[in-house]
Structure formats: structure tokens, C-alpha cells
Amino acid sequence: MIEELPKIRTRYKCDFVVVNGENAAGGFGITEAIYNQLLDAGADVITTGNHIWDQRETLVYIERCERLLRPLNYPKGTPGRGAGLYKAANGAEVLVMNAMGRVFMQELDCPFQAVEAELNAAPLGEVADAVFIDFHCEATSEKQSMGYFVDGRASCVVGTHTHAPTADERVLPAGTAFITDAGMCGDYNSVLGMGTQEPVNRFITRIPRGRFEPSNGPATICGLAVDIDDKTGLALRTAPLRLGGVLSSAEPAFWLDEEA
């Protein structure tokens, strides 16, 4: 699917692209080689989540990879970074944050306090021209709460982790684009991207019979498009992106209309 990224960036004239890569290495973390492949294909920043440390090498290479983020609410002293200020193709300064929820997840530091600290350090409209937050968590209520917590202070909050795209993309009342979960990029004839046999077996028997193996059927690329006001840094409109595979297709019509 990496080879599709340059086409997507060109077709929609994207100024900035964030990719969640925490399952890029066969479903378990991300390697430095894959990180570099994603950057070469056109990703500006790669976010992650609870699988960030699945590849032990990540503990070493993450320090030199400025465009790879791990959840910012890991304890102080954790390798890597959870936020950064990056320049978009149109010259805008984009603050990107990666935070992880705590409901049904690891007990990390408070993600709301961690996000608040970053917003105070680089406020929208003062230091940052746009603010993007990847909020990686299980509970839909926690994701939606984050959206309203930063509404009017961030350009976009995208929920990740559950692998299933939700149909609630919208611009919140004060101008922050939001979706509960952008969905995964992968084969949806699967269980969270894995071949169905072993996950089904474990639910039925509670006994592992083998390894989880990635499902390699036709893949769907899922994401969210956001049109941001250059003056305010807030969202003007947003739309889902679903291409290929077995899900119904969706494209951001507002970009296609401008192209026409």
C-alpha cells in the first residue's frame, strides 16, 4: 500500500500527510526501514500507539527519527518524542501530537494534561498554523471527549486503534475536525488485519493454536481529509477517504470539485 501514497498526495494536492504506522511491521510495530519507506512515499509524520515497542529496535532508532512519534503521555524519560512542529508543503507550521487513551489501555499519564501542555507551548494561531492530534485509544467516549476538550484549539483530532472506520466525521462547533476512528489500511476480510482462523479459534477455545498472521487480500486505504482555513488554522470541512478493497469507496469531494 505504500506505493499508493504518492498517488494520493498528488491527486488531492495534499499539503501535509500524517500516517499512523504502529502496525506497519506485519501488525506489530514499525521498523526503521518501513519508517523511511513511508517518508520517501510522501508521509510528513508517522504516528503510532500501543504497539510502538513491539519491534525492540525501535527503542534505539526512534531517537534519531524526528518524524516518528510515540504517545506523548508515556512517562518522562521514555525514548523518542510525542509531539513536534513540522513544515507543510505550503509553508505552514504544523504541530502534530500523538496521545494514547487510558480506558481499556495501558495506564499512562493523563493524555488530556499532556495535550494541554503541548497546546500551551505552541498555541494555534500564535506558534502553530495548524494542530493535528492522533488520539490512539479504545473507548469512543474518550476519543470524543478529547475532541471537545480541544475544540477551537486544534485543527483536527483523529481517533485511531480500533481498525474500523467510523461514520461520524464532522467539524465540531468551535472548528475542530473530528472522527472517532479513521480505520486501518489493510485487508478488511480479516480480524483487525489478521487472518481470521487464529483469532476465531482463540475466542472459541481460549487456547492459542498458532501465530497471528497478516491477511494479505485486497487492501482498503482509509483516512480522513481536512480542509483547513489558512487564517484561523481551524477546519472548514472534512470528509472520509476509503479506496480499494471491500469497503464502500469514499473520496473528499471538496478537493475533487476544486480540481475540476
pLDDT at residue 258, rounded to an integer: 58
Q: Inform me whether the pLDDT recorded for 254 exceeds 90.
A: no
* Single-letter amino acid, residue 202: R
Read off the pLDDT of residues 81-103 as tens digits, 9 standing for 90 and up.
Answer: 999 999 999 999 999 999 999 99
Domain ranges for the chain: 2-185+220-259
List of residues 6+ apart from 10 with CB closer than 8 A: none
Q: Inform me whether the pLDDT recorded for 48 exceeds 90.
A: yes
Read off the pLDDT of residues 188-240 as tens digits, 9 standing for 90 and up.
Answer: 999 999 999 999 999 999 999 999 999 999 999 999 999 999 999 999 999 99
pLDDT band per the 50, 70, 90 thresholds, residue 260? very low
Tell me what percent of the chain is helix, strand and coil, each rounded to the nearest 5.
Answer: 25, 25, 50
Q: Inform me whether the pLDDT recorded for 73 exceeds 50.
A: yes
Whether residue 96 contacts residue 69, with contact meaning beta carbons closer than 8 Å, is answered with yes
Mean pLDDT confidence for 162-187: 98
Active site residues: 51
Give the domain 2-185+220-259 fold.
Purple Acid Phosphatase; chain A, domain 2 (3.60.21)
Bridge partners, 37 (sequence order): none
Residue 174 CB-half CA count within 13 A: 10
Q: Residue 109 corresponds to which cell in the numbers above?
A: 499519564
Candidates 58, 60, 3, 59; CA nearest to 35 is 58
The pTM for the full model equals 0.95
Read off the pLDDT of residues 106-146 as tens digits, 9 standing for 90 and up.
Answer: 999 999 999 999 999 999 999 999 999 999 999 999 999 99
Q: How many C-beta atoms surround the C-beta of residue 205 within 10 A?
A: 9
